[in-house]
Each structure stands twice: as C-alpha cells, then as structure tokens.
Amino acid sequence: MNGYAVLKTLHVASAVLLLGNVTVTGFWAAFMYRQAQASGAPFKPIAKAIILSDWIFTLGGGAGLTITGVAMIVTGSLPVMLNAWLVRGIAALVLSTLAWLVFLVPDQGRLDRATDPHEIRRLFRRWTVIGWLSTALLFYALWCMVTKQ
C-alpha cells in the first residue's frame, strides 16, 4: 500500500469533514436562530449543538488536515517555501484557525451562557460574520491546494 496515497486520502477526507461542517453549521445555525427568534424558543440548545459540532467535526477535521498535511510535506520532501500555492494554502488555514480560536470559540461559549436577547443577537451576528469570513479562507486554501496556484 502506498503510504503517501493513504495520507492524501485522509487529507482530502479531513478537508471534506472540516469544510462540510463549517459550511453546514453556518447555514443551519442561521436557520435555527431565525426559528428561535420567531417562536421565542431559547437559543441555548442551538449554542450547545454548535459547540458540540465544532469540537467533533471542526477540530477533528482541522487536526486531521494539519497532521496529514505535515506528514505529506515530510514524506514527499516538498519544499514549502518554493511552492507559493502551499504557502498561500497554509497561511489561509492558519488565519482561519486563529479566527476560530480567538473569536469563534469564545463567542460560542458566550452564546451558550447568554440570556439577554440583544446580547445573543450581537454575539450571533459577530459569530456569523467572522465564521463566514473564516470559511471563505478555508475555501481559498482548498482552491490553492487543488489548483496549485
């Protein structure tokens, strides 16, 4: 069995897991937020689902992506700094990860604890805007890796 091919398969699967989760979570969270606002239902179960999904799929996919990416660089002896597409892709992943760690994860905790509807709306808007920008960075990283541009 070709070890590099196994790493690449796991790398792609991790990217699918990560990108799929952040995209779908952004969509269904907005949908559920609107439903909760219209019905007066509490936001706490939605916040808990976002947190759970993030820790399982975003963290799992991101960790798998990073571990297999580094392993492929080492195994394939890829000169990172001589491949601009690799530098751009890694930079986009790093920026997205920093946004997740610095803004999104703390805001998810705040959303889970918040009870004031105005505070929930403010936090959810910020989480949504930063989350979609972070997701766009991930799609840019994917484009860099696929096209090698």
Per residue in 49-92, pLDDT (tens digit) is 999 999 999 999 999 999 999 999 999 998 999 999 999 999 99
The residue range of the domain holding 46 is 3-147
- Confidence band (pLDDT; 50, 70, 90) for 1? confident
- Are the C-beta atoms of residues 106 and 148 closer than 8 Å to each other? no
Distances (CA, A) of 122 to 23, 117, 127: 21, 9, 9
Report the chain's mean pLDDT, rounded to a whole number. Answer: 96
Number of domains within the chain: 1
Q: For the chain, how many helices (H) and strands (E)?
A: 6, 0
Q: What is the mean pLDDT of residues 29-46?
A: 93
- Confidence band (pLDDT; 50, 70, 90) for 130? very high
Rounded to the nearest 10°, the torsion over CA 76, 81, 83, 87 is 100
* Percentage of residues in the chain having pLDDT higher than 70: 100
